[in-house]
Structure 1
Amino acid sequence: MEFEFDLEWCLTGAKYLTPNESARVNANPTDGKAIDALILANKSYIHSINVLNDYCKPQMAEYRKSVVKHEDSEIQSQALDKLYSKYLIEFKKHKMPLK
């Protein structure tokens, strides 16, 4: 699997998106339910990255271009809205694998 994203940044981001799950595991590293919840949350995060990477590349490129070119905030916002709309459609189509 090849990511178009910085994987280390993404995994660091996952910690910020799973603070409750991470805190439960840190508080009790042997709690199986807490570990399972953290694993599921991180799988969901990785699945989101995969959906963006596999199905939203043109929209991602358009958004990145608007940021790199320092286009005005309205253009960047429109590009981000297009990216997010496409992401939602594709995320619903491509359910997260359970395993």
Structure 2
Amino acid sequence: MSALCQASESVCVIAALETNIVKNVISFMEAVDSKMHEVVSTKGINELRNNPECIGTSIGMLRRAGYLLGFIVQYETCRKPFLKYMNNLINLTISHYKKY
């Protein structure tokens, strides 16, 4: 989906306005953030650094999820769904583990 949204504004508009993609991607990112916190709290930061797949996904997939939201939000017509999740996005932005 990330590649499709990167290539086409119309795909972004349809995805943002006619599906739950924004909600689902943000939920995915929140779940990963929660798992990162759990791993660091129970096993330490080195576990996360040495075994990033312990969070249930790959860093590449998490990166693509972020890019997907970025591709969608760049078009003004696609921004309305993001307003509902502004607090969620802010919380993800200030996550303690975003750099890992």
User: What TM-score comes out, normalization by structure 2 length?
Assistant: 0.34
Bigger RCO (CA 8 Å, 6+ sep) = 2
User: What TM-score comes out, normalization by structure 1 length?
Assistant: 0.34
